[in-house]
Amino acid sequence: MQDWSGTFGARTTADEAVADRDLSGQLMIVTGANSGIGFHTARALASAGARVVFACRDSAAGAAAVERTLAAHPGVLAEVSLLDLGSRQSISDFAQRIDADSVDTLICNAGLFGGPYQEVDGALERTVGVSHVGHFLLVRALLPELLAQGGGRVVMVASESHRTPSKLDFDRLPLTAAQYSGFVAYGQAKLCNVLFASELQRRYGGEGLTACSLHPGSMIPTNIARSSSLAGFVMKLISPFTKDLNTGAATSIVCATHPHLEEISGRYFSDCRPKLPSAEASDVAVAERLWKRTEEWVGAS
């Protein structure tokens, strides 16, 4: 078993985390890869030889991210594909465009925080609708490819915000306009991410799938707060005291490339190491209930 105390930690960068990995021949997908943590995750994985699909809502921004990656690492296999996690049709179209029999790793990185109440397909509040339900649909659409070679990996980029609120309020989810709070919606979405990863592991681990979740770092200045000018200002203000984007991507890299699958399966990570999630996030009954409720939201077929 890995002695995590002597490996990567809070100051590890994405490039350091991938430095000894040869990912040649692997197909990896990173959602929200056009900027921030997602970009550095996708860039670093491509630098180690993987074919990386930058799954982005804005195709022009995604293409620019691929160009930056190619400029930094000439000759790597990086491509952009349009994906709007708020649109069921876009998710279906994206999955159908994957021109491979198998997918090795799916990193569910995309997310958002704050701004006014808005809805996505299915009349769902968009924070949970994009961060959890959109990724649920994406994983479901790609399950045949993820399971094709004896099991791929699904990495959910969650947050320590999954601890607040401390419980998943099924009576309020999905939030209505009258109930909406940006902080509550984000905390519930991140709790859903951790629960989804653990339930994925329970349901499909026997078929070889490996699923885990992680906290990339607190208040890293990404564009996740693009819908909230106040949150964006606060993130910029404290940025000298937080991880930079390259460091924030390191835990995603560890979860996506760690060679011993049994050491990451179903676990939650922070600072490139395992960490105990909240009691609610560890509750098997809650995870199963969330799965069933999500199927109700999207239609079980």
Task: For residue 99, give the CATH number of its domain.
Answer: 3.40.50.720
Distances (CA, A) of 202 to 161, 191, 207: 23, 17, 10
Tell me whether residue 63 is in a domain. Answer: yes
Distances (CA, A) of 48 to 39, 162, 186, 265: 14, 31, 32, 22
135 Cβ neighbours under 8 A, 6+ residues apart: 31, 85, 108, 110, 156, 193, 196
For the residues 226-253, what does the mean pLDDT come to? 66
d(CA 89, CA 87): 5
Q: Which residue range(s) make up the domain with 137? A: 4-296
> Is-catalytic flag, 268?
no
d(CA 4, CA 273): 6
Q: Which tens digits make up the pLDDT trace of 68-79?
A: 999 999 999 999
Which of 117, 180, 186, 204 is an active site residue?
Answer: 186
Tokens of 265: 């399966």
Stated pTM of the model: 0.92
pLDDT band at 224 (very low <50, low <70, confident <90, very high): low
176 Cβ neighbours under 8 A, 6+ residues apart: 125
Tell me whether residue 101 is in a domain. Answer: yes
DSSP string, 74-122: TT-EEEEEE--TT-HHHHHHHHHH--SS--SEEEE------SS--EETT
d(CA 76, CA 130): 29
d(CA 241, CA 245): 12
Q: Which tens digits make up the pLDDT trace of 283-295?
A: 999 999 999 999 9
Tell me whether residue 301 is in a domain. Answer: no
Tell me whether residue 65 is in a domain. Answer: yes
Return the percentage of the chain with pLDDT > 90, whole number: 85
d(CA 141, CA 135): 10
Q: Which tens digits make up the pLDDT trace of 125-165?
A: 999 999 999 999 999 999 999 999 888 999 999 999 999 99
Contact yes or no for 49/128 (Cβ under 8 A): no
Tell me whether residue 30 is in a domain. Answer: yes
Phi-psi region of 31 (alpha: psi -120 to 50; beta: other; left: phi over 0): beta
How many structural domains compose the chain? Answer: 1
Per-residue pLDDT at 227 = 53
Residue type at position 134: G
Closest CA relative to residue 30, chosen from 133, 161, 138: 138
Q: Which tens digits make up the pLDDT trace of 103-130?
A: 999 999 999 998 999 999 999 999 999 9
Q: Which residues pair with 156 in a beta bridge?
A: 108, 213
Q: At which residue do the structure tokens 């995309």 appear?
A: 110
Q: Which of 184-212 are b and which e, b meaning 16 or more Cβ less than 10 Å from the residue's Cβ?
A: bbbbbbbbbbbbbbbbbbeebbeeebbbb
List, edge to edge, every strand of the sheet that includes 77-82: 77-82, 51-56, 27-31, 105-108, 153-157, 210-215, 268-270, 273-274
Contact yes or no for 160/175 (Cβ under 8 A): no
